Amino acid sequence: MKNKLQELKKEVLSQIENIKNNELLHEIENKYLGRQGELGVILKNIKDLGDEARREAGQIANEVRTEIVSKIEAAKKALNKDQSVENLVDVTLPGASMKRGHLSPLTVVQKEMEDIMTSMGFIVLDGPELESDYYNFEAMNIPPHHPARDMQDTFYIDKKNKDGEYDMVLRTHTSSVQVRAMQKHGAPLYGIAPGRTYRCEATDVRHEHTFYQMEGLVVDKDINFGHLKYILELIGKKLYGPETKLRMRPKFYPFVEPGSNMEYTCFLCEGKGCRVCKHTGWLEIGGCGMIHPEVLKAGGIDPEVYSGFAFGFGLTRLAMLKYKIDDVRLFNSGDLRFIEQF
Partner 1 sequence: MLLSLNWLKEYVNIPKSLSAEELAEKMTLHTVEVEGIEKEGEKFKGIVVGEILEVKKHGNATHLQIAEVNIGKTKLTIVCGAPNIAPGQLVPVATVGTIMPGGMEIKEAEIRGEKSFGMLCAEDELGLGTDHSGIMILEKAKIGQSLAEYLKLDDIILEVDNKSLSNRPDLFSHYGIAREISAFLDVKLNELKLKKIKADHGDKHAKLEKLDVKIEDKNLCPRYMAVKINGVKIADSPAWLQKKLISVGAKPINNIVDITNYVMLSIGQPLHAFNADVADKIIVRPAKNEELIDCLDNKERKLNNSNLVIANGEKAMAIAGMIGGKFSSVTAETENIIIEAATFNAYSVRKSSGALTLRTDASVRFEKALDVNLAEDGLMLAIELILEICPEAKIASEITDIKQDAPEIKEITFDLNWLEKLSGNKIEKKKATEILSKLGFIINADPESDNILNIIIPSWRATKDIKIKEDLAEEIMRIIGYDDFPIQVPFIKMAPAETNRDRMIERKIKDILSKENALSEVYNYSFVGEDDLKKINMDFSTYIKLANPISKQHTLMRQNLSLGLINNIKTNQYKYDDLALFEVGTIFLNVPGEFKKHNSSEETLPHQEKMVSIALAGNNDQLFSQGKSIVTNFLMSLTDLSVDVAFLPTDLIIGYADATEKAVINVNGKNIGTIAKIDANIGKSFGLKKDAVIIEMDFKDLLLLSFLENNKKYNDIPKFPPMVRDLAFVIDQKILYNDIRNEIKNFHELIKSVDLFDVYVGKNLGEDKKNLAFHIIYQSNDRTLTTEEIDEIQKNLIENLEKRFEAQIRNF
Residue number with CB closer to partner 1 (268 or 339): 339
Residue 218 C-beta: closest distance to partner 1, Å: 8
Residue number with CB closer to partner 1 (65 or 196): 196
Residue number with CB closer to partner 1 (259 or 267): 259
Residue type, 244: T
Residue 293 C-beta: closest distance to partner 1, Å: 6
Residue 166 C-beta: closest distance to partner 1, Å: 6
Most distant pair of Cα atoms in the chain: their distance: 108
Residue 135 C-beta: closest distance to partner 1, Å: 8
Query: Measured in whole angstroms, how far is the alpha carbon of residue 151 from the centre of its chain?
Result: 33
Residue number with CB closer to partner 1 (73 or 165): 165
Residue 340 C-beta: closest distance to partner 1, Å: 7
CB burial readout 279-307, b (16+ within 10 A) else e: eebbbbbbbbbbbbbbbbebbebebeebb
Residue number with CB closer to partner 1 (9 or 171): 171
Residue 177 C-beta: closest distance to partner 1, Å: 11
Rounded CA Rg of the chain:
37
Query: Strand pairing partners for 217?
Result: 191, 310
* Neighbour count for residue 310 (Cβ, 10 Å): 25
CB 255 within 8 A of CB 291: yes
Residue type, 14: S
Q: What 8-state DSSP symbol labels residue 149?
A: G
Report which of 145, 123, 154 is spatially closest to residue 219, judged by C-alpha positions: 123
H/E segment holding residue 308: strand 307-314
CA 244 to each of CA 192, 194, 235, 239, 249: distance values in angstroms, whole numbers, following the listed order: 22, 23, 10, 9, 17
Residue number with CB closer to partner 1 (10 or 249): 249
Residue 122 C-beta: closest distance to partner 1, Å: 6
Residue 205 C-beta: closest distance to partner 1, Å: 16
Q: Please compute, for residue 140, the number of CA atoms within 13 A of its CA located in the half-sphere on the CB side.
A: 28
Residue number with CB closer to partner 1 (72 or 193): 193
Residue number with CB closer to partner 1 (46 or 276): 276
